[in-house]
Amino acid sequence: MVFVYLDVKIGSVQQGRIVIELTNDAPLASKNFFQLCTQGKYKNTLFHRVIKNFMVQGGDTSVQFNDGDNVNNENDKYPYLNKLGKGGSSIYSNEENLNGYFKSENLIPIEKSFYVCMSQMNGCLDSNSSQFFITCEPSPHLNNKYTVVGMVKYGKSIVRAIERVDVMSNKQSDSVAWIPVESSKVIVENCGEWKENDDIPNYIACTDTVGGDIFEEYPDDNDTEKEEFNFENPEISYNIATIIKGSATILLKEKRLDDSLKKYKKALRYCNELLPDDTNNEEWYQKFQELKKTLFLNISLVCLNLTQYKECIDYCGYILQMENVELTTVQTTKLFYRLGKAYSGLKKYESAMEMLQKGLMVSPDDKIIKTELAAVQKTVSELKKQEKERYTKFFS
């Protein structure tokens, strides 16, 4: 098996590594893709066409972006925008065939997400060059029309991140249709050959399998043809979400807060996407709701510990908005305490005192809330004293 990799960043934020397994059924395309990667030809190229629920496209080697590149167009700030996505060159380029067009091969049905296909100029057969696209959904309308050069082996969450960037326009008639907005330029930072046991950096997800979490970041990216991924069965879906939550809790106990947060959010994603219908499956619907409640609470805790105060407040708010889900006294107390701490962290002391006082209404003897409320009240008192002193000096 032969693998290559693309290291991707969006804007200035590193995302991670996409590892592609090249097929033996497309020798011309595989050789081309392999050498373009190992020779660094894809380095600093852009994913220039992003259509959600369809595909992401890149590989125009004629346009490369380096941080610091400028352009004389105030609206887009891309280099060479008028050329982007219109060029490229394969390893078969010569004086008579500058783009290095080569014969189409392995024209098979596009039955799954994460096929890597060679793009064709104007959709014409035998016009493959350096451009490629990665499918984000099964695409039967492309069946037997494009050379399939490989499949994404690792880094599916990176492809999903690319798929979700904002684009300049979603109107096909626009000249900038499907191009990511300037602040979300999708850049290939590096490329090359990947071998088993090489690193697979991922900065947007935690890929640690601790606690049995062997699942993809998004439910549909698992092999749903296997019975263990039959998400039509709410019990299977619930159990998987619970395993992911357990993995997050292990990481939290190890004080790996960033990784724990990513895992809790992953578990929440599974809950949201696999939530059964409340009318046809009320029992499992309610179990999912209870799990979501716990996840909201845990996420708010981790966000608070990471000093992500606004996000902590948001997740506490989501709990309060949940219908037909009851909070225990302990959970309600924790909720108001975290809200109070978060508002205090944002220096919104009046709101902090309000939340902490509500917490005391639920648990009048809670020493932790009493201590925090006293600290906030002391801070408010000192701020008022300092303000009074400033005004006194001003008028003296």
Residue closest to 350 by CA, chosen among 383, 318, 320: 383
The H-assigned helical ranges of the chain are 27-38, 156-163, 234-253, 257-274, 282-305, 309-321, 329-345, 349-362, 367-395
User: pTM of the prediction?
Assistant: 0.90
Counting Cβ atoms within 10 Å, is residue 24 exposed (0-12), middle (13-18) or buried (19+)?
Answer: exposed
Query: Which residue type is seen at 269?
Result: R
105: left (phi over 0), alpha (psi -120 to 50) or beta: beta
Q: Of the candidates 159, 139, 184, which has an alpha carbon nearest to the alpha carbon of residue 20? A: 159
Rounded CA gap, 314 and 335, in Å?
11
Measured distance CA(179)–CA(57) in Å, rounded: 10
Q: Which residue ranges of the chain lie beneath pLDDT 50?
A: 70-76
Distance of CA 106 to the CA centre of its chain: 31
The pair of structure tokens assigned to 21 is: 């397994």
Is the CB of residue 21 less than 8 Å from the CB of residue 172? no
Which of 323, 318, 196 shows the shortest CA–CA distance to 338?
Answer: 318
Contact between residue 115 and residue 148 where contact means Cβ atoms under 8 Å apart: yes
pLDDT at position 390 is 75
Q: What pLDDT sits at residue 71?
A: 42
* Structural contact between residues 358 and 320, judged by C-beta atoms closer than 8 angstroms: no
Residues pairing with 188 in the sheet: 8
Q: Tell me which amino acid residue 36 is.
A: L
Domains and CATH numbers, the chain: 2-194 (2.40.100.10), 205-325 (1.25.40), 327-396 (1.25.40.10)
Which SS3 state, helix, strand or coil, does residue 174 take?
coil
If residue 18 lies in a helix (H) or strand (E), which one and from where to where?
A: strand 13-22
pLDDT given for residue 16 in this prediction: 98
